[in-house]
Structure 1
């Protein structure tokens, strides 16, 4: 299954998810992370690999790692291995194959339909970024970035990248950030603080960030002095980063705020989606040093 031709117009606050199964549980992955879905092929085992990595495969001349999603989630092996599928994905500037048990269908949903996981299971050990109720059943959106970072911590945001930039003075720039992952919010706070930024306002989705900005306007505040830059993820419950950017750029007062999209979904083939909604800059996670350089460029 190729994902060409089913990508949505930018800024609609919708997404399409591929529904797949692990055991009797239903999960989802954003279509724009999916390159294709194939039947399992021969896997070459890699010595001393992480326990969740089954090995590597060759696909059209590329060598790709295969992650056993069931094992990563602590679930049993497939009961019907002949139905298993490989989801070939691309995000965070890398291609990875996820071994799942079944792939069923594609759903088009609004981010407003996606609920934030309860605090009861939203600890750092949780792999769920959102819950969608479809046809009386729950489909769980998996945090694939977290699954990958647990295998290879170097693929995540790293404060060491900031230290390579050398000594930096404290900045008075006021930055608003929209990021739904508690883990990434902490990493962004740590790394941006290390880079000298002391005025950081975090929100866990685009809806809350937009409400904050509109509230400043309603209070008669000078937006140019209150907010120097907005940094947003793309995938967030309630309102995604593309729709947030579109709303800001269409707003009479807020439109002058520079917007940087910082997401694992920034690829050459998807960059046009951010351009269409008026983003001033786009940086792929986990390139935090490039983000800092772009902040310096825009938040003057």
Structure 2
């Protein structure tokens, strides 16, 4: 299977997911994260303390790290990689990487509402949500968290907020944030508070924050902006994605006044137009917190 096709319009409430198998279990990834599906015929083992990194391979003159999803998910290394393994070539957070899987089964078009949030008993797991199919459950994986965990295990940490100075004047602004990842919410909370943006309200998905905004609008009308000055949203979230959330806000005659910033690993040159189509005021790729703070300053008309 070669390059995937991105068929969906933005903000429709639908997503195309690629179904694949690792150790007999069925998983899913957003199609737009998958650049290619290839067969890895040759690879080089690397001296690495993290067994989740199987090695590297050469793909059209690019050296790409191979992530062993079997080890990530089951703590057991894949066998016979040298005989050829299927790999999902993905690019997000400005990183191109190959995830080794056992088999790719196909593409499904579903509603974001079909992705059920994982039980809180699972804690900060690698599963964004579960997708109920007719005869099985697909586990929707958090690939960004997988990479973050591998980097941290190797002693590499993304520095999120190097060049932003603290300004107490920022604390007068009320900012709502929607992101299903505990890791990203914690990172945003720490980094924004360090910059002076301390008046923060967090939501776990687009549905939660939209209900909050509708409630504010019902109670206060055009004065809803007294309670919230700006929204920062991820794209991939169970129940309602960030593109759909942004579109619903921007077609509402009152809510459209709210500035919306999309903060996501899916902000790439190829996909930037999707945020424009739904009316986002700005789009920033994770994990550029310093750029995010600069955009907040501009949108909030700070002097």
**In structure 2, C-alpha distance between the alignment counterparts of 1:139 and 1:219, rounded to whole Å:** 39
| CA gap 1:275/1:42 in 2 versus in 1, 3 angstroms | same
The Cα of 1:3 is off from its aligned counterpart by 4.5
Contact 1:205 1:237 in 2 (8 A): yes
**In structure 1, C-alpha distance between the alignment counterparts of 2:15 and 2:149, rounded to whole Å:** 26
Aligned residue for 2:229?
228
Aligned residue for 2:71?
71
**In structure 2, C-alpha distance between the alignment counterparts of 1:247 and 1:140, rounded to whole Å:** 27
Aligned residue for 1:275?
276
The question of 1:259 aligning with 2:260 is answered: yes
Q: Say how many residue pairs are matched.
A: 296
- Cα RMSD, aligned residues only: 1.8
**In structure 2, C-alpha distance between the alignment counterparts of 1:229 and 1:33, rounded to whole Å:** 27
Contact 1:128 1:141 in 2 (8 A): yes
Contact 1:261 1:279 in 2 (8 A): yes
Task: Provide the secondary structure at the position in 2 that maps to 1:115.
Answer: strand
Aligned residue for 1:139?
138
**In structure 2, C-alpha distance between the alignment counterparts of 1:75 and 1:107, rounded to whole Å:** 28
Contact 1:179 1:232 in 2 (8 A): yes
Deviations along 1:273-293, one digit per CA (max 9) or x if unpaired, are 000000110000011111111
Aligned residue for 2:248?
247
Contact 1:242 1:277 in 2 (8 A): yes
**In structure 1, C-alpha distance between the alignment counterparts of 2:100 and 2:251, rounded to whole Å:** 41
**In structure 1, C-alpha distance between the alignment counterparts of 2:141 and 2:240, rounded to whole Å:** 18
Aligned residue for 1:128?
127
The Cα of 1:75 is off from its aligned counterpart by 4.7
Task: Provide the secondary structure at the position in 2 that maps to 1:5.
Answer: coil
Aligned residue for 2:99?
98
**In structure 2, C-alpha distance between the alignment counterparts of 1:173 and 1:232, rounded to whole Å:** 16
Gaps of 5+ in 1: none
Gaps of 5+ in 2: none
Contact 2:179 2:185 in 1 (8 A): yes
The Cα of 1:80 is off from its aligned counterpart by 8.2
The Cα of 1:45 is off from its aligned counterpart by 1.8
Task: Provide the secondary structure at the position in 2 that maps to 1:32.
Answer: helix
Deviations along 1:23-67, one digit per CA (max 9) or x if unpaired, are 110001100000010112211122235221111111111111110
